[in-house]
């Protein structure tokens, strides 16, 4: 994109060509009355005259090329005119040279959604902030987040071609990195790294990044905020002594005109930070683009800022490292003092937008309507089309939407709620209820129990529900299963294999009031309904591999993932407004009661809902099994069974528990309402209320996921993470408090 100043040289160039044609005398006519040779700007005809070579624009104001000026009369007779042309050419070249601006390009990557270790919260947010900062300083920025190895490699290859045409090239990477065998490696989101021997196949070497910036003419900068405490190191097996993985990044030697900066010193780790950005990213945002500052002083200021910000850390202050080549006494600046005046010519490419994204162009309204139309078509309910038409009431998509709505309304039976199109896969309905059409006298009124699709609760009084009944309160509401009252023993006994201290001591929890739990985890289709009808857009720093949950809309029967605790809570609040009934996230106690499927406190505490046998888990849960091990070529031990799904599976594909609930273990973790505390079980409680308190740091997720083994599948296992975390392995389900049932 070029501003007004970028157009001036081109306009001067065009005026110059016009002036050359005006200066040329009219050529003699040929025998046919036509010009025997062309004038400037036409195709020259063969002629024995000499050629004058001048200078012209080559590319993006970065250099000059030669163009030809064909004289139309004899050189001997027109020497004064030719000298005038040469003078004009020289003056034009000088005018372009004076207008030339330095070309700066940047590649910014933030990886947080790691599939085989705990996600990182800040890197995508850090990268987005740095990208925005560089764009404002005149860099042509390419921004990515959460890239697997293939896409990281592609991004570097594409950037290398841009760097070859630039004066300054910069790469910023935030995420996990490590030193193995003397080499530094950046870790993509899909790396498993079960062994140090896997590094070359699954990670990208620092040298590849250095090669990507090598073509820049004046200055090359590589910044790695990748020294975080690395969970891969703790679990990797070592193939040989020479490739022992280190905790941080190792020392490097910078080449001429190259600067390499790390967020921590050699072999040390850097903090992810408790705020919006890491300490290192915060310092860079303050210092990186100060115009006219020598890079040695610039990174010295960053060093000072990070040390001050981390001085109170128990392990001591964080000390960034920077590696320079030998430099002379002249300043080497990243951003010239005049850069601010050229910032308007910068372009931004954000291929995966997360956090606070760089500025985007104005969206195409027709394209927005098309996207919403596709979502409404997948939901395929009258309500969804009504919501679409409220947002897009005119245009061709509105015409089509009214037609689709009319088709649905025409086929809906009188007095019956519309059934959802694309019913989530898995069994629906209870076979142990009276057959379709049978009328029972219950609670003093007559209502009809229907086998197959669950009843809509508005068709009868809530107090008529019995344990095991299923209902749905609206066409886009989840199917709910009524749970009985009872008492159960929460937590794990001291003798349970794989037990953690925060799972005890065990305590008996009474369930005084019945409640209903969603039969399946909330699906992509149901969350889509929330998006279009509730007009909700997640503000979460989404860490699903390849982008946000919205990029996986074709898998409508999968559990929705990449939703934060805040997203899940917002869904329950919308569902409450939409249905007119109270929905919320389950408490930890409610979730464990539902997962265990027992109502008697004397029942033995099993590791899993179905028993203690780990190898039988594949019948009941989507876990880290042999199929996942094969698919990801992992060497980490898996459960010795095969569930058929290396990754996430549609809901309802595995056997239900004793309460008729599906996917209570495995497939995806499930958010619960509670704040996490290691001492939760030490505090006596009289009911199943969630533990919540001010300044809640982390929330709890239960149930394990498709990427977890037997220890994490245990019913008592508790996982904890920040409520803003959104990962491919975390979803949720909902509960609905009920009146006392018969």
Based on the domain organization, do 95 and 108 belong to the same domain? no
pLDDT of residue 378: 60
CA 17 to chain centre: 51
- pLDDT the model gives residue 233: 65
Owning domain of residue 336: 104-350
Q: What whole-number distance in Å separates Cα of residue 628 and Cα of residue 190?
A: 13
All residues at 6 or more sequence positions from 112 whose CB lies less than 8 Å from its CB, including other chains = 119, 120, 121, 122, 123, 124, 145, 146, 175, 189, 541, 543
- ∠ CA 188-704-594 to the nearest 5 degrees? 155
Paired strand residues for 508: 489
Q: Do 112 and 94 have their domain in common?
A: no
330 and 231, same domain (yes or no): yes
Does one domain contain both 700 and 564? yes
Judge if 85 and 140 occupy the same domain.
Answer: no
CA distance 276 to 273: 8
SS3 assignment, position 235: helix
User: What is the model's pLDDT at position 460?
Assistant: 45
Q: Residue 466: give its domain's CATH number.
A: 3.90.1580.10
For the chain, the 3-state helix, strand and coil shares in percent, each to the nearest 5, are: 30, 15, 50
Q: What is the DSSP letter of 619?
A: G
Both 82 and 110 in one domain: the answer is no
User: 335 and 467 share a domain?
Assistant: no
What is the C-alpha separation between 516 and 734, in angstroms, rounded? 9
Distance from C-alpha of 286 to C-alpha of 276, rounded to nearest angstrom: 14
**Cα angle at 161 between 160 and 163, to 5 degrees?**
65
664 domain-assigned: yes
Low-confidence ranges of the chain (pLDDT < 70): 1-100, 227-231, 233-248, 250, 271-275, 326-329, 338-372, 374-375, 378-379, 396, 410-461, 463, 534, 538-554, 634-635, 637, 684-687, 740-742
- Based on the fold, state whether residues 114 and 93 are members of the same structural domain: no
Indicate the SS3 state at residue 493: coil
β pairing state of 258-262 and 219-225: parallel
Structural domain tally of the chain? 4
Q: Quick check: is 431 in a domain? A: no
Q: What is the pLDDT of residues 611-633, one digit of tens each?
A: 888 888 888 899 988 888 887 77
Same domain? For 176 and 268 the reply is: yes
Question: Which residues in 11-29 are b (16+ Cβ under 10 Å) and which e?
Answer: eebeebeeebeeebeeeee
Identify the pLDDT of residue 356. Answer: 36
Asked if 497 and 646 sit in the same domain, the reply is yes
Which of 423, 427, 452 has the alpha carbon at shortest distance from 437? Answer: 452
pLDDT recorded at residue 80: 52
d(CA 455, CA 37): 88
- Return the number of other C-beta atoms located less than 10 Å from residue 497's C-beta: 11
Output the pTM of the full model.
0.45
Residue 303: which CATH number? 3.40.50.1460
């Amino acid at each position: 994109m070029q501003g007004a100043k970028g157009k001036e040289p081109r306009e001067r160039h065009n005026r110059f060509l016009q002036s050359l044609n005006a200066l040329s005398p009219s050529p003699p006519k040929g025998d046919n009355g036509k010009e025997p040779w062309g004038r400037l700007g036409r195709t020259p005809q063969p002629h024995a005259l000499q050629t004058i070579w001048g200078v012209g624009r080559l590319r993006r104001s970065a250099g000059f090329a030669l163009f030809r000026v064909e004289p139309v009369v004899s050189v001997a007779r027109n020497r004064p005119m030719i000298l005038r042309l040469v003078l004009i050419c020289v003056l034009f070249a000088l005018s372009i040279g004076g207008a030339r601006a330095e070309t700066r390009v940047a590649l910014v990557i933030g990886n947080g959604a790691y599939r085989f270790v705990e996600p990182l919260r800040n890197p995508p947010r850090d990268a987005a902030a740095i990208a925005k900062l560089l764009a404002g300083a005149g860099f042509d920025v390419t921004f990515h987040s959460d890239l697997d190895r293939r896409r990281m490699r592609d991004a570097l290859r594409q950037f290398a071609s841009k760097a070859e045409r630039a004066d300054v090239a910069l790469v910023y990477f935030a995420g996990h990195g490590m030193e193995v065998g003397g080499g530094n490696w950046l870790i993509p989101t899909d790396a498993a790294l079960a062994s140090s021997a896997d590094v070359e196949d699954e990670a990208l070497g620092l040298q590849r990044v250095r090669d990507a910036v090598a073509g820049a003419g004046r200055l090359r900068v590589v910044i790695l905020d990748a020294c975080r405490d690395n969970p891969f190191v703790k679990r990797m097996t070592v193939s040989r002594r020479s490739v022992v993985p280190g905790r941080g990044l190792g020392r490097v030697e910078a080449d001429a005109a190259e600067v390499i900066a790390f967020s921590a010193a050699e072999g040390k780790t850097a903090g992810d930070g408790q705020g919006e950005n890491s300490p290192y990213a915060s310092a860079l945002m303050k210092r990186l683009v100060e115009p006219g500052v020598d890079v040695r002083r610039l990174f010295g200021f960053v060093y000072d800022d990070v040390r001050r910000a981390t001085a109170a850390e128990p392990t001591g202050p964080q000390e960034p490292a920077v590696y320079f080549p030998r430099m002379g006494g002249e300043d080497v600046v990243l951003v010239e003092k005049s850069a601010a005046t050229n910032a308007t010519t910068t372009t931004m490419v954000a291929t995966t937008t997360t956090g606070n994204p760089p500025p985007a162009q104005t969206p195409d309204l027709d394209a927005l309507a098309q996207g919403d139309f596709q979502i409404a078509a997948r939901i395929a309910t009258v309500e969804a089309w009504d919501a679409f038409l409220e947002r897009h009431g005119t245009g061709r998509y509105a015409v089509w939407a009214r037609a689709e709505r009319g088709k649905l309304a025409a086929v809906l039976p009188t007095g019956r709620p519309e059934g959802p199109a694309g019913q989530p896969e898995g069994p629906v309905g209870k076979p142990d209820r009276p057959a379709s059409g049978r009328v029972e006298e219950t609670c003093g009124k007559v209502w009809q129990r229907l086998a197959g699709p669950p009843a809509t609760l508005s068709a009868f009084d809530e107090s008529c529900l019995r344990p095991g009944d299923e209902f749905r309160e609206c066409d886009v509401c989840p199917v709910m299963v009524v749970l009985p009252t009872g008492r159960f023993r929460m937590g794990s006994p001291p003798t349970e294999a794989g037990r953690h201290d925060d799972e005890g001591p065990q305590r008996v929890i009474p369930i005084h009031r019945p409640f209903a739990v969603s039969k399946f985890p909330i699906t992509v289709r149901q969350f889509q309904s929330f998006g279009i009808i509730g007009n909700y857009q997640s503000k979460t720093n989404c860490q699903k591999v390849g982008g946000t949950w919205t990029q996986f809309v074709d898998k409508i029967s999968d559990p929705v993932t990449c939703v934060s605790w805040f997203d899940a809570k917002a869904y329950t609040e919308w569902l409450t407004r939409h249905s007119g009934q109270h929905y919320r996230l389950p408490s930890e106690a409610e979730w464990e009661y539902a997962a265990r499927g027992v109502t008697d406190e004397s029942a033995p505490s099993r590791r899993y809902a179905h028993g203690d046998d780990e190898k039988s888990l594949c019948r009941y849960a989507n876990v880290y099994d042999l199929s996942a091990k094969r698919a990801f070529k992992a060497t980490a031990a898996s459960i010795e069974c095969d569930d058929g799904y290396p990754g996430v599976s549609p809901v309802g594909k595995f056997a239900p528990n004793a309460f008729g609930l599906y996917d209570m273990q495995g497939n995806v973790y499930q958010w619960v309402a509670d704040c996490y505390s290691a001492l939760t079980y030490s505090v006596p409680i009289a009911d199943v209320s969630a533990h919540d308190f001010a300044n809640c740091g982390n929330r709890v997720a239960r149930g394990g996921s498709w990427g977890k083994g037997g220890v994490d599948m245990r019913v008592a296992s508790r996982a904890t993470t920040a409520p803003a975390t959104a990962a491919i392995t975390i979803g949720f389900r909902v509960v609905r408090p009920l009146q006392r049932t018969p």
